[in-house]
Chain A
């Protein structure tokens, strides 16, 4: 067993000794677990070291009014409460404030996230497991305390479990009173059910019976010792219209953080707060244009801050306390290019360093060569694709970009000359119309096309390419297995295949490739893509 875990055990035993009566009513199955302590009602507490309200305020800057509101709504110990509906944008501190508040209040809660419990049954069973103080283990085959699929079963099981648990709590608080240890301790008789990520319920609740059921839970149970808290990132209006026949939960809104709040939050756990605030001066302004979410900002700033500090550690250019402004300016000029580049980059992939270290060991000559090669390779395609797949990709790209009416003029040399002459005259008369058409194309995005058109363009392209490069006599075999190539392109998500009846053959395809990639592919084939693109001419 872990040393840390071993260290935990004495503390736990003292706790459970204090509430030995509570542990007697534990679920029988959890007692079987050999080396593990059976769960007690204390395990429904958030646990950890007690935290004061002031600490809470300082941990969550700009949230004191919300915290106070919730505290008042929860009321003092053992007061019944109406259901709460906590909502606000992503990463505005809803979940952590609720949990920390319960840590401060030291009251038992049953928490379930609707993300982890991804359907009705798992949600029910996880709530029951917690109430029954049930622990999944190899001894019980990782089974649940109760098997429960339907809401009607759930309400019965829940009532049963809740009364058990509440009796348990009552017994315990009675003991505490008799033992005269009730300084401020007491965890009260209330049990709070918390539903996190509640907005997800809407998605898996297709028949929309579950939402009313859960909102109505308070009325159905009629147990005053139960508190319900729903946490969602959408407003209550998205869940119910007025007057659905049950008590509407009291809404608590978490607004987005202000600029000052975000600064405070981000600089909370920084070692060098002065340096960090100067970094924030630089970085925050430009990032606010992109996002105001704390989690996104903090993940984006982590590598940026390291970059920002680089010149400090590299060469001790700045002796202590020397010319603060000068240093700031230098650091700013160092970081500025990185900020603009990271603005567009939500997702950063670091190539693993060890590979590069090995490379650098090799001779200088080679490194130089490699650098040159790399520069060349930037423009190259960095994955393998067979030649016919490349042609197919290009023809799909063309089919998506060019209007179908232009196919004849682009690919048929005879028809082309006639058509072009005809088309030019009206377009010269009305140049604006052409512009608007181009714009329309851009707005519409890639168009869809049937298989036949794709194959026709493919044939044209390949025959043109074969004519131009007679040296490669073998490329004549490109035509076979085209459909196989098509399916592998679809699998790689380069071509999107619409759904339709496969026998009728009316499936429409759409190329999802960026122009950049298409150009790369064309370059690797030495195919003059731009001359075939309608937009360009």
Chain B
């Protein structure tokens, strides 16, 4: 697309450009390959809201010619601003994610490092061979049992490996910075094809040895004993065990174990599934050379929760997603991919789409920079106003009349409200940890705008039940009967039944979380003080006593006290939910930072190429928009593409397609061009003889050739399987419906 033609402008002036739909179809590929240029051509999505805005703005444009000219200039100004805003926001999010993941892994990394030092020192205790001993070819003679290789199995607990590439890279950096020689090998180095030589070559490449002719482990031993290199432990990271070729790995382990005294390598092996993977991969003779310990790093669920917490909850002012988008991402994570990488990628795409689709979104990029003059000068207030007017949320917020002065006010309100919201969600999540509620699920529920109006009533129901609590204990049944708002309810139920000690911890954590937000903090304080008041009223019920009191006769009192405290906590949650947890989509001006367009993201992310190929083959005319097919609609015309015709014909057959029948019907359709007589369809066989010999033969041959080519094409796309020996005149359809 030519950079000079700005689609934003054309679109806003003339909403029904013919190129619009074409743009649509190309978009996934644009986004995937050229994100930066993609941003410029505004996503003319044809989504409802955008259209509506265009329609709304058009009468204004006709009224003020001047204004539209202004606008055009401003749009030109917007594009770099949009890019800039996206860059600043995304770089912020990205660095947050990185920090968070690093922090999450740090404890596991420290454990590993400690273990490495232990191994290293233990190996040194046995005595260091000197350089001559270490570089000799025969093993060092000792009376002790043959040394074992120390190996750390780092269990990543995710069948998909992508996320852990980064983890192991960081582990490598971490160990390097803590004084280890680190070498990283991956499954590519343990391939059947290259054998042990390839793997040794890769190993030696990791060390500063210069050009090496033939990879030999004795080189490494000489290097390690030279120039104080042996003061540091030698760590070898093999990042993905499952994909390694077992026999090569066996050879490698056996070779290392032969050298273990002279070259005390410490192995770190990444295991995606279970320890059994190693048992399956290596024979017993190699396994007994390993002295292994197990280390766990965070599960993908944990990591996901921390990312959601850091990016979407804590920094909710930066960028946020609507309920449907969140639900889509969650389902994609659980059902399809299960990797953080794809989640982050989806988030990035969402962010990108948001900035390219929402003209006002760039405000908040500047809002972040707190460089107000800049964006005000770029965006004339009237235009801004106009866009704001069209926000559905703005209408709902019922302050439209005094819009002029309240924009700034509204924006700052939005920020404070979001801060309150995120704190409230964090508090709820903290409470949810006792009932093992995952933040991602909670997040989806909290964002749901449909549930929001019901929440008040939910609270009422709960209060009623609270009153009846002391007498009945069948409340759990009643709760489960109500389906909506399940997670919050679940949390509340758990908090009510929480023992005192845990509750105290929870309140302490709440205090920590709310420390910066005075509004909620005050609420918490009043709730605590009310509890204290109760304590004072009955001085024997200090919190220390409570634990002692369990066994005593006053257990009934203690229970009462317990429920009082719990009820207070429940009331606090109640207050949070009611006052501060308005879903983001219900806040005014949320469009500035909230991305809601699921369909778009879905198309971009999943693509679903197989289904797409099949669908496109069936109605290719909709894409090609040729003149001939436009008239006839769905009917098969000879002018259509061969493979498209063949695929449409194949729909009439079942699993197996008789080649002869298929060819005949293909031929019939092609013959329609020459003679548009209905007879030709009925009897193609005699027709052939009637044709003049020369051209007819040629025609037949070319038809056959075209048939063959189309079938081959379909075979290559994976839709067909060629005839087998058993059924030589049938092809088999391979993928239907998938």
Contacts and interface: CB of A to CB of B under 8 A. Distances in A.
A459 B737 contact: yes
A95 to B, nearest CB: 7
A118 interface: yes
B148 interface: yes
Contact of B132 (A43, A90, A348, A350): A43
A383 B157 contact: yes
B157 A382 contact: yes
Say which size band chain A's interface belongs to.
35 or more
Contact of B210 (A142, A269, A481): A142
A116 B136 CA distance: 12
Given A111-B137, A142-B210, A492-B242, A505 B718 contact: yes
A432 B159 CA distance: 42
A493 B277 contact: yes
A349 B738 contact: no
Contact of B213 (A4, A143, A482): A143
Nearest to B275: A349
Contact of B288 (A5, A136, A295, A481): A295
A413 interface: no
A117 B159 contact: no
Contacts of A136: 135, 218-219, 222
Contact of A121 (B135, B214, B251): B214
A355 interface: yes
Interface string A488-510: 11011110000000011110000
B227 interface: yes
A504 B255 CA distance: 40
A389 B209 CA distance: 44
B369 to A, nearest CB: 38
Interface residues of B, number: 104
Interface string A100-116: 10010000011111011
B141 A384 contact: no
B338 A349 contact: no
Contacts of B128: 2, 4
B502 A383 contact: no
Nearest to A269: B143
Contacts of B209: 138, 142
Given A347-B288, A350-B293, A352-B111, A386 B335 contact: yes
A347 B279 contact: yes
Interface in B152-176: 152-153, 155-161
With a 10 A CB-CB cut-off, give which of A43, A347, A363, A387 has the most chain B CB atoms. A347
A459 B634 CA distance: 29
Interface string A135-149: 111100111100100
A467 interface: no
Given A99-B139, A142-B222, A488-B159, A347 B290 contact: yes
Interface in B115-156: 115, 127-128, 130-133, 135-139, 141, 143-146, 148, 152-153, 155-156
A346 B137 contact: no
B188 interface: no
A99 B335 contact: no
Contacts of A459: 737-738
Contacts of B718: 505
Given A115-B254, A116-B137, A349-B153, A474 B335 contact: yes
Interface string B90-114: 0000000000000000000001001
A79 interface: no
A118 B250 CA distance: 13
A296 B288 contact: yes
A365 B499 contact: yes
B413 interface: no
Interface stretch (B294-302, B538-546, B559-567, B685-693): B294-302
B141 A492 contact: no
B46 interface: no
B217 A488 contact: no
A339 B703 CA distance: 76
B138 A99 contact: yes
Interface in B697-738: 715-716, 718, 721-722, 732, 734-735, 737-738
Interface string A442-481: 0000000001100100010000000000000011011111
B159 A505 contact: no
Given A116-B217, A136-B222, A477-B336, A296 B284 contact: yes
B159 A350 contact: no
Interface in A86-132: 90, 95-96, 99-100, 103, 109-113, 115-119, 121-122, 125-126, 130
A346 B160 CA distance: 28
A286 interface: no
A135 B135 CA distance: 8
A8 interface: yes
A2 B130 contact: yes
B292 interface: yes
A47 B722 CA distance: 70
Nearest to A5: B130
B278 A347 contact: yes
A1 interface: yes
B335 A119 contact: no
Given A269-B143, A363-B501, A504-B722, A475 B335 contact: yes
Contacts of B115: 352, 354
A455 B299 contact: no
- Which 7 pairs of residues, A with B, have the shortest CB-CB distance? A111-B138, A386-B338, A383-B157, A347-B287, A474-B331, A387-B335, A142-B219
17 contacts: A2-B230, A5-B131, A36-B131, A111-B136, A115-B258, A116-B218, A138-B227, A141-B210, A142-B222, A143-B213, A299-B148, A349-B153, A383-B157, A387-B334, A387-B336, A389-B338, A493-B242
Given A90-B285, A144-B214, 11 more contacts: A2-B130, A116-B259, A122-B214, A348-B292, A350-B294, A355-B296, A382-B274, A383-B274, A477-B331, A477-B335, A492-B272
